[in-house]
Structure 1
Amino acid sequence: MSTDENDVIVDPFCGTGAALIAAHSLNRRWFGCDISPHAILTTAEELKKLSNVLPTQYNIVDQADMEQCACVSLMSYKKLYLGFADSKARELIHGGESGWCEFKAVLRGRPEANDGYDLQHSCLKTVAAFLNSDGGTLLIGVHDDKTVLGVRVEEFGGRDSFERHFWGLLHEALGKTASNDIKTYFEEICNKPIYVVECGRSEVPVYLKYKRRSDKGKEEEFYVRTGPRTESLSISEAIQYIIKHFDIAKQDFQRATL
């Protein structure tokens, strides 16, 4: 009653895990302890009965493991602490949008929405900007205000069809080589599928070629992240950025563009 969603609930005498299960059902993160190994095993069995809890979402550690991790540094302890019944997507949502995280409510517009192609372009330019900067994660199915909407995969014919559609967009708009620095997967948050797009830092510049309804043809664009924003650079700005960011000698860049 005194907590909000995404808060952390601590039960130092978790017993059969009733408080932890209640916390998980109410979209709270949790952390449980018990001196009895039997109690921990019982809690694990009860967690298995919940359809929205996967064994990969939490860890079971003993006192020695906890003390070994906690004494290294506060950051190490924090990482372990949030590792219980948590997920990367949930933690990113809790932290909000930043230079390394962006939320998109949908990938493709519905009839009542605005230009669906522009919505796809918005997702693609974010991916390109992460690749051209220092990497980051795009969460599709999350509103800017952190509301979890979920991806309506049924509109694409299921999860597999959604992934094929998304990767088709990536290959067409960014090129197949750019996909080497991208990893995608679904995560369940509040029983809703969130599509996670993890982008590393590309070793070469990534250009976005995408035709929107308002365009006469495909235009080549160059995007980067500036704080929590995705920005398009002009030709002169892009040249200076590429030379500096990708550590390309000016003469090499000039030869490559001839």
Structure 2
Amino acid sequence: MRVPTTDKPRRPRAMNRLQMKTFSLLKTSPTPVRSRLFRDLLLLLAVTLGILIAASALLIKDIQHDIAAARIDSAKALVRDEVRALLTPVQQQLLIIRDRLHDAGDPPPQTQAAARTLNAQLIPSLNHIPQIAGIAFANNQGEEYFLRRDGKGWLTRLRGQGSAAKFEFIRWNGLDDLGQSKTAQLNYDPRERPWFKDAQEELEQSQSDEDTLAWSPPYRFESLDEPGLTVSSAWRHGDALQVLGLDVTLARILDTINGLPLDSGTGFLFDGQGGLYTDFDDDQSSAQQQRFFSAETHHGGLLRFNAIAAWRAAGRPDQQLVRFSSGGHLWWGGFLPLTGEADGAWIGVAIPLSATLDMLQSRWYLLALTALGIVALGVGLAALLVRKYSHQLRELPKRGIDPRDPEADIRALISRGESTYVEFKSTMRMNLHTGKAGKEIELAWLKGVAAFLNTEGGLLLIGVADDGELLGLDADGFANDDKCQLHFKNLVNSHLGAEYARFIALQLYRIEDKTVAAVECQPADIPTFVHHKGAESFLIRNGPSNIELPISKALTYIAGRY
């Protein structure tokens, strides 16, 4: 149909086109999705940029503090994770040995033959976990068995009952190769040692001897004459109180910290009272190598002493940053308890104010211009993407839990039922039909995790029945959340592999007094297999189901995806 012409003069066509485009972006009447999205995006970026520039000009010191906090937090997290990786195997080995001794029910060995038998059980632990410096086993009668390395051999120390008992020292060249033996009288009673008292106190407070353990504050080891920590556990056998302790030297922990890349900073160990453990050598401390020094009495201006003194002056914080001066430079310090006990050992990290922060303060306008350029480029790219993919805009699938309101998020997921990205499992290890823990239950959800990793990711809710009923994890019988998380981690490491932990996040939530485990799975960048009894399974997610692929189809799928 032809539109009638009028006598009004026509405007140039180019001008008309320009005005139409301008008005289509600014007017509030209904417009195509692409135009409205571009308009809102442009407005949002402009407002955000203005706020960022204003905030940078007015709050430059706060920005410096936030950047320093991020660097300190990153360094603290690195040190914490590495130290935990060092200490966790020790703690796990303690529970294994403890269960073995608890089941045996024997007191600490008092003869060479009995010591040889126990040596055969414990020496492999020292061989495979080198951070364990020694193993002590004692009871409330004063009897003690102690084992540690001695050069290329092993040394056991046996103590009898009573307060003034004699000690027998036995050197072993091998498991069955008895070396020299001697007796001595020492002013030492295991019942007075920190590791024994801490384990006894923990047992009395828990009123149960199942998996109770305690980390001691730093103290000096009698056998090695150097400071360290001991993780110990106590249990009762009849009227006897028995305690097992595993030693870790602070030197071993410090070596781990010193080997970390801390972004021009330094890490150190100290006790809750401010005493510094150090392995450095200077004119004032060479006579007391590897000791604790007071941060108040040391006069030398050393960085670590200044950091601890500033920490104490600030009220011994474990969250906030501490700013201090050392050697004519300004530093930031961050601190956290090594084992969670404020009176125990602490980790400290000190990082200097870097040249990049000074540049941020003196040349902020260059950063603002750079930000403008980046924003302009981002607007252009956003426009191209909106134009190309506007017909594909739709709600993305749900693959995680909103931490701000996890209960509402989980209920919404349950109400929608299982899907390509959501799966329910009733328990983590308990077969509800037989009332017993079943490996098939664990393999079922492990296969679900593997399928998510091999496809587009997803969310596994454990503690929810297939019909959406909220069951919780009570049937699994975990003593606490830490036991549940450790069990989960061990199963993933055993059947999938520790290298896949970076794609998996486990969170525990309480809903209606029931615990629900949410396993958030990201798509993996390498194929994921489920290992069980020497066999491997490769699974993918297809709708609300997990599909196990035969080898030929798995190879084709892997070649196309990875």
TM superposition score normalised by structure 2: 0.27
Q: Any idea what the Cα deviations from partners look like across 1:55-86, whole Å, max 9, x if unmatched?
A: xxxxxxxxxxxxxxxxxx9969xxxxxx8785
CA distance in 2, matches of 1:192, 1:173: 27
- For the residue of structure 2 that corresponds to 1:127, the secondary structure is helix
Q: 2:497 aligned with 1:175, yes or no? A: yes
CA distance in structure 1 between the aligned counterparts of 2:424 and 2:552, rounded to whole angstroms: 29
**Map of 1:198 onto structure 2:** 520
* Corresponding residue of 1:103: 424
Distance 2:407 2:442 in 1: 29
| Residue 555 of structure 2, aligned match among 215, 236, 239 | 239
Figure out how many residues of one structure are paired with residues of the other and give that number.
Answer: 162
Is 1:222 matched up with 2:538? yes
Shift of 1:218: 2.4
1 or 2 for the larger relative contact order (CA 8 Å, sep ≥6)? 1
Is it true that 1:185 corresponds to 2:507 in the alignment?
yes
Q: Distance in 2 between matches of 1:237 and 1:176?
A: 26
Q: 2:456 aligns with which of 134, 149, 170?
A: 134
- Structure 2 vs 1, CA of residues 115 and 231 (structure 1 numbering), >3 Å: closer, same or farther? farther
Match of 1:240, SS? helix
Shift of 1:93: 0.9
For residues 180 and 129 of structure 1, the distance between their equivalents in structure 2, rounded to whole angstroms, comes to 16
Once the two structures are TM-superposed, the CA of residue 110 in structure 1 deviates from its matched residue by: 4.8
Distance 2:480 2:405 in 1: 29
C-alpha offsets along residues 6-30 of structure 1, whole Å, 9 cap, x if unaligned? xxxxxxxxxxxxxxxxxxxxxxxxx
1:155: which partner in 2?
477
Counterpart amino acid of residue 231 in structure 1? I
Residue 157 of structure 1: how far off its partner (Å): 1.5
Q: Do the aligned residues in 1 keep the contact of 2:421 with 2:544 (CA within 8 Å)?
A: yes
Code of the aligned partner of 2:535: E
Q: Does the 8 Å contact 1:90/1:189 carry over to 2? A: no
CA distance in 1, matches of 2:557, 2:482: 37
Q: Deviations over 1:217-244 (max 9, x none)?
A: 3211101001110011000000110111
CA separation of 1:237 and 1:115: change in aligned 2, threshold 3 A = farther
For 1:204, what is the secondary structure of its paired residue?
A: coil
Distance 1:114 1:227, change over 3 A: farther
Shift of 1:176: 0.7
Matched residue SS, 1:205? coil
Change (3 A) 1:152 1:226: same
Q: Are the equivalent residues in 1 in contact too, given 2:459–2:520 (CA < 8 A)?
A: yes
Cα deviation, residue 155, structure 1: 1.1
Larger strand proportion of the pair: 2
8 Å Cα contact 1:181/1:202 also seen in 2: yes
Counterpart of 2:343? none
* Counterpart amino acid of residue 549 in structure 2: L
Q: Equivalent residue for 1:165?
A: 487
The change in CA–CA distance for 1:193 and 1:114 in structure 2 (over 3 A counts) is closer
2:448–2:460 contact (8 Å) kept in structure 1: yes
Residue 445 of structure 2 corresponds to which residue in structure 1?
123
1:239 and 1:85 map into 2 onto residues whose CA distance is 38
Report 1:24-173 matches (<5 A). 86-110=407-431, 112-113=434-435, 116-152=438-474, 155-173=477-495
- Separation in 2 of the partners of 1:220 and 1:74? 37
Displacement of 1:92 in angstroms is 1.3
Cα distance change on mapping 1:243 and 1:191 into 2, 3 Å: same
**CA RMSD, aligned part only?**
2.4
What fraction of aligned residue pairs are identical, expressed as a percent? 34
1:209 paired with 2:531, answer yes
Structure 1 residue ranges without an equivalent (≥5):
1-72, 77-82, 211-216, 247-258
Q: In structure 2, give the amino acid aligned to 1:223.
A: L
Task: State the shift of 1:200 in Å.
Answer: 0.2
After superposition, the Cα gap between the structure-2 partners of 1:220 and 1:149, relative to the gap in structure 1 and judged at 3 Å, is: same
On the 8 A contact 2:427/2:475 being kept in 1, the answer is: no
Q: CA–CA distance in 2 between the matches of 1:185 and 1:87?
A: 15
- Give the match for residue 20 of structure 1: none
Find the aligned partners of 2:437 and 2:476 in 1 and give their Cα distance: 20
Pair 243,85 (structure 1): closer, same or farther in 2 beyond 3 Å: closer
Partner of 1:48: none
Post-superposition Cα deviations, 1:141-188, rounded to whole Å, max 9, x if no partner, equal 000000000011771221110110011000111111111100111112
Unmatched 5+ residue regions in structure 2?
Answer: 1-392, 397-403
Contact 2:451/2:541, CA 8 A, preserved across alignment: yes
